[in-house]
Amino acid sequence: MSLKRTSATVGSAATNSIPVATFLLALLLRMESVKLRSRSGLAKLAGVTLCLAGVLIIAFYAGPSIRPLARNPVFAHKPHSVSTGSEWIKGTFLLIVACATLSLWIVLQVPLLKEYPNKLMATALQCLFGALQSFVVAVAFERDFTKWKLGLDIGLLAVIYSAFLGTGALMYLQAWCAEMRGPVFVAMWSPLALVFTIFCSSFFLGEIVRLGSILGGILLIGGLYSLLWGKIKEMDIKITSAVPGEIQVQADESPRHQKIEEEELTSQV
């Protein structure tokens, strides 16, 4: 519903708000912390501010259009007229709601993997319940079953790609990364999607890209990497503060181990 009111580029740019929403949810659940007196805490706060500014620019500023990269797009596609009125704002709002729900899903993967350490099992359960929910929604909103048929066209390719890569492989890789580095780190790599989407939508679909979407996307990416820098800085501080303690423990235990070895050697003699 949001893509019909905006464009693929705006949809990809709006997904860059996922790390901010993920960070805020993790902060509410006490999975993350912010120290405003430190540089890492200020970087996180600046990242949130830049992301909010990027979302506002996308919603309220369209700007001049940029010509498509290909005059004859690879796939037949008739670009829809872009509205800067209430429909555009409504589409952006729907994208933010979708990103917020996706952020909640990323956060909930951490306790889920504690109950189900097998990532393949967790992925299978998510796909199963997602398929059931999608089926119920599809039956409720589309009663004409003739539109459910798939032909040998780009629609079939999109379904296959979404099933194997966009859902199966994506869920498994995200679960693996969330278990290794946490939910915020997973969402930090979403800015790359904006670059690929701008190129693909302009080259393959002949879509008109708006300057406001690009500027908002740049602010979103800047905010995300500011948040990432603050996260990495906190990890470095934790590692630096933990190393002296480990060295001290090893130094305290080493004479004890030497004494035990001497006693064992004496008893053997």
Per-residue pLDDT of the chain (269 residues; tens, 9 = 90+): 888 887 777 777 777 777 777 877 888 887 777 777 788 888 888 888 888 888 788 777 777 777 766 666 666 555 555 555 788 788 888 888 888 888 888 788 778 777 777 777 777 888 888 889 989 998 898 888 887 887 788 788 888 888 888 777 887 887 788 778 776 677 667 677 777 887 887 777 777 777 887 888 888 888 878 877 887 787 777 677 665 555 444 444 444 444 444 444 344 43
| Alpha carbon distance 102, 115 (integer Å) | 20
Which pTM does this prediction carry?
Answer: 0.61
3-state secondary structure of 129: helix
| Alpha carbon distance 28, 213 (integer Å) | 30
| Alpha carbon distance 120, 124 (integer Å) | 6
pLDDT of residue 262: 43
| Alpha carbon distance 160, 163 (integer Å) | 5
DSSP annotation of 65: E
pLDDT of residue 83: 56
| Alpha carbon distance 120, 122 (integer Å) | 5
**Alpha-carbon distance values, 248 to 1, 76, 242, 244 (Å):** 59, 67, 10, 6
DSSP annotation of 79: P
| Alpha carbon distance 160, 36 (integer Å) | 46
| Alpha carbon distance 168, 162 (integer Å) | 8
Number of residues assigned to the chain? 269
pLDDT of residue 136: 93
b/e 134-150 (16+ beta carbons within 10 angstroms → b) = eeeeeeeeeeeeeeeee
